[in-house]
Structure 1
Amino acid sequence: MNVHDSERLSGLLEGAGYVRASAEDDADIVVFNTCAVRENADNRLYGNLGRLAPVKAARPGMQIAVGGCLAQKDRDTIVKRAPWVDVVFGTHNIGHLPTLLERARVQDEAQVEILESLETFPSTLPTRRESAYAAWVAISVGCNNTCTFCIVPALRGKEKDRRPGDILAEVEALVDEGVIEVTLLGQNVNAYGSDIGDREAFSKLLRACGRVEGLERVRFTSPHPRDFTDDVIAAMAETPNVMHQLHMPLQSGSDAVLKAMRRSYRQDRYLGIIEKVRAAMPDAAISTDIIVGFPGETEEDFEQTLHTVREARFAQAFTFQYSKRPGTPAAEMDGQIPKEVVQARYERLVALQEEISWEENKGQVGRTLEVLVAEGEGRKDERTHRLSGRAPDNRLVHFDPTARGRDGLPAGDPGGRVRPGDIVTVEITYAAPHHLLAEGPAHAVRRTPAGDAWERRTSAPKPQGVLLGLPSVGAPAPSPSPASACGPCMD
């Protein structure tokens, strides 16, 4: 959700005439799009703001804006701790950013604007998509759950759903631009329909996406076990372009802890969903979120989490140490767990999940997979001369685009280079806990409209930027190179 909001912020600024800066310290505007889920977000924000203070002092006219969940929560605190910040805006008014920046410049004082409810659904705002071949599509904002560890509902508000026709119109427009994969987004994505009075709206939406010609892959994140109904499983299994991949947050395997978290399911219910998903889609890859060290968690409770992990056999788990967030019920609970105990349990959980992830990935060796080539997925791609992408089940696959078959030619290569957005068919030869490797030649390379879109984007000339500040007196200076204006949005 934060990444997609950052795309919108970039789109707003580009619509106002700015272009992305080549480096943060060269920017005329730096926007921090913040998260409030974990405590380290606070530390990172104020650390980055402190580092930018001398940079701003040396660059007259430079502006700094802070938005997102942490801005919604802290409000005036940000300007008090970092008075060199020009704009603070919340989760409900990201569309006001260009206006707030201009107002701060004209009035020469910080602008703090926090709305308490959503003014306009964010998807109506201009968006600068980070990818030419895959796109986020928000189907709802806000959340109606009251999990005791989570501050997001207080910052994002109650769930508000988009109309199905608006969602499908956006999906179709994206496909027309070359996108072949969309991920449907919601704070509780499969609760979609509660705001419009249709309990099966989400499964209907999945099936409708299956009828969009040219859309090859549909994903969604993140669902809630409470709302994960049989009609959703059927839609996943029966709609060819809905991927057999599911991210289902567990949080804890202990019924006692789940009750304290105010999660509306228990271990048996959760494992029952996993069993149904695997019965309908035996090849499904399932990932999860787990919190370690929630207040009151006993060793027995933690063992129940380990038991659930062993039973579920997740392909991947995002594991977190409980972070005390002011304003949440859990922050005031008795039984806060000592840091050293949380750390020890966390390490045990990570070790178990690493072992399971590796075993599950080894089961992919020998399989032939279609990989959607991605950009920036492989940190070592440049050094290893490989490309990377995602299999249908979202596993990360590295492959060598130059590997040649017995005839000395790259198999299936129509003569052009493999581009992000193209589909490569490869055989998996090696597995690690977090990735797969195809060491032989590709069986086929399919050039796609998504690859064409990527090529158009990367070959297009960069637009000229808009400079800030007053014109200088005297002879004009040499024309600047394509300008830096909007710094990187960071969550």
Structure 2
Amino acid sequence: MRKTIDIITLGCSKNLVDSEQLKRQLEAAGYSVTHDSESPKGEIAVINTCGFIGDAKEESINMILEFAQAKEEGDLEKLYVMGCLSERYLKELALEIPQVDKFYGKFDWKTLMADLGQNYDPKLHLERSLTTPDHYAYLKISEGCDRTCSYCAIPIITGKHVSRPIEEILEEVELLVSQGVKEFQVIAQELTYYGVDLYKQQRLPELIERMAAIPGVEWIRLHYAYPAHFPFDLLRVMRENDNVCKYMDIALQHISDSMLTLMRRNVSKAETLELIRRMRAEVPGIHIRTTLMVGHAGETEADFEELKEFVKTAKFERMGAFAYSEEEGTYAAQNYEDLVPLELKHARLDELMDLQQSVSAEVAHAKVGTIQRVIIDRLEGEYYIGRTQFDSPEVDPEVLIKNEENINLVVGDFYTAKIIDADDFDLYATII
């Protein structure tokens, strides 16, 4: 009998896709594979790490140490580590945590198959064992990033932007549709640069339009766009195709010109405001998700006040934020002195998120009385849990529908629902 392998994925959905590809290969080789099990019991563990910011690195290291202890206690035969943290600190980690049998970089996890005495099967290169519910999947269209943001270690970890060919992506979409996937979260380190390396021009609008034409693709949602050189034809594609969700995840990071310059974002406050104006004008009802950063080296009180005013007036339907942490090797670490105290960073972060909570509540309550198309993700306690086109899995609000005797909803199916109530985060609905 083949042994059981536990895969643990930390960090972003791009890592999750890598884990799903590995899981498919291992299962094809005859292994029993679990993913993010609450109580891993396998003889072999593979940890797919994140190395983006300090908190993520700490979480990854703590997870490795937890499994290293299990190995020392005889509860684990082999421990392997892959992913972004491993890519960046391969030699250092091998010296610091010798209990790990081998560390792999982000892109050489196929070697793990060979080290297990198995061959990587190229015929399965488009296949994955989904760890998400059967009706949605993440679709990674590129790797790496050519941007030079001051604070970001991603280009150091992943290297230059590498787009996947359009035809290969569309083939994968058709394969996933044939397996029951209806909803696609399109992801990349930087979506809007897609195609420049392969085709010498931005091709994201064409890719999304061709995806939307594939029968069975019900929803397409876009994650991780960049504000500079935004491909505006994408807004036309979103407006003209009902299955392209009116949703844009675009990391803006800041709004003051001084901070945007220090961050090397290659975009100004005026350009950012015009981008938001065009999005809302050209795609009525669009929901914009953004990420903002506080406490970057050089951020003054005036910069932060400007950011707060931006959050109040822009009224982002979805917003996340994080405190700057100096990452070695980045432009900021080499050229700026980080003089913003940690306590002040966290205080600014809390203040910004408190502001957003009232915006989010306003957005949610404005939906009361509206009719929405909802996909059902799961049954949890006395509620069916679903989402609208404006809600991405894991990170956005959900729609709660009371599980009453006269309804029998199917997970993965779409329903027409009337929103009857809202709180600061979630919506409550009844099926029409």
Shift of 1:94: 2.1
- Residues 92 and 49 of structure 1: CA distance in aligned 2, closer, same or farther (over 3 Å): closer
Q: 2:175: which partner in 1?
A: 173
Q: In 2, distance between residues paired with 1:402 and 1:178? A: 24
1:206 aligns with 2:204: no
- Of 360, 365, 370, the match for 1:362: 365
- Residues 244 and 17 of structure 1: CA distance in aligned 2, closer, same or farther (over 3 Å): same
Is the 2:326–2:338 contact (alpha carbons within 8 Å) kept by the matching residues of 1?
Answer: no
- Residues 51 and 122 of structure 1: CA distance in aligned 2, closer, same or farther (over 3 Å): farther
Superposed CA offset, 1:261-297 (max 9, x none): 1101112211211111111222111110111100010
Shift of 1:400: 3.0
Q: TM-score, normalised by structure 2?
A: 0.89
- Residues 237 and 198 of structure 1: CA distance in aligned 2, closer, same or farther (over 3 Å): farther
Superposed CA offset, 1:98-135 (max 9, x none): 223449xxxxxxxxxxxxxxxx9999264111231111
1:59 aligns with 2:74: yes
- Residues 52 and 200 of structure 1: CA distance in aligned 2, closer, same or farther (over 3 Å): closer
- Residues 367 and 336 of structure 1: CA distance in aligned 2, closer, same or farther (over 3 Å): same
Is the 1:123–1:138 contact (alpha carbons within 8 Å) kept by the matching residues of 2?
Answer: no
Superposed CA offset, 1:381-431 (max 9, x none): 634x10112101115333335336xxxx33xxxxxx422211122111112
> What amino acid maps onto 1:389 in structure 2?
G
Q: 1:341: which partner in 2?
A: 344
Shift of 1:323: 1.3
Structure 2: 5+ residue stretches without partners: 1-13
> What amino acid maps onto 2:180 in structure 1?
G
More strand by share: 2
- Of 14, 35, 47, the match for 2:50: 35
Superposed CA offset, 1:193-235 (max 9, x none): 1012353411111111121111110112111011322211111
Q: In 2, distance between residues paired with 1:77 and 1:420? A: 45
SS of corresponding position for 1:252: coil
1:437 aligns with 2:428: yes
Is the 1:172–1:212 contact (alpha carbons within 8 Å) kept by the matching residues of 2?
Answer: yes
1:420 aligns with 2:423: no
How many residue pairs end up in the alignment?
410
Matching of residues 366-381 of structure 1 within 5 Å = 366-375=369-378
Matching of residues 8-87 of structure 1 within 5 Å = 8-21=21-34, 23-59=38-74, 62-87=77-102
Shift of 1:166: 1.0
Matching of residues 190-201 of structure 1 within 5 Å = 190-201=192-203
Q: 2:384: which partner in 1?
A: 387
SS of corresponding position for 1:137: strand
Q: TM-score, normalised by structure 1?
A: 0.79
Q: In 2, distance between residues paired with 1:268 and 1:151? A: 27
Root mean square deviation, CA, Å? 2.2
Q: In 2, distance between residues paired with 1:145 and 1:157? A: 10
Q: In 1, distance between residues paired with 2:294 and 2:113? A: 40
SS of corresponding position for 1:429: strand
Shift of 1:42: 2.5
- Residues 44 and 335 of structure 1: CA distance in aligned 2, closer, same or farther (over 3 Å): closer
Matching of residues 138-287 of structure 1 within 5 Å = 138-287=140-289
- Residues 363 and 27 of structure 1: CA distance in aligned 2, closer, same or farther (over 3 Å): same
Is the 1:249–1:290 contact (alpha carbons within 8 Å) kept by the matching residues of 2?
Answer: yes
Deviates further, 304-313 or 212-221: 304-313
Is the 1:141–1:156 contact (alpha carbons within 8 Å) kept by the matching residues of 2?
Answer: yes
- Residues 231 and 400 of structure 1: CA distance in aligned 2, closer, same or farther (over 3 Å): closer
> What amino acid maps onto 1:34 in structure 2?
T
Deviates further, 10-19 or 64-73: 10-19
Is the 1:67–1:94 contact (alpha carbons within 8 Å) kept by the matching residues of 2?
Answer: yes
SS of corresponding position for 1:419: coil
> What amino acid maps onto 1:262 in structure 2?
R
Is the 2:47–2:64 contact (alpha carbons within 8 Å) kept by the matching residues of 1?
Answer: no
Q: In 1, distance between residues paired with 2:170 and 2:227? A: 25
SS of corresponding position for 1:222: strand
Is the 1:142–1:157 contact (alpha carbons within 8 Å) kept by the matching residues of 2?
Answer: yes
Q: 2:329: which partner in 1?
A: 327
> What amino acid maps onto 2:401 in structure 1?
D
Q: In 2, distance between residues paired with 1:95 and 1:126? A: 14
Q: In 2, distance between residues paired with 1:174 and 1:216? A: 12
Is the 1:257–1:297 contact (alpha carbons within 8 Å) kept by the matching residues of 2?
Answer: yes
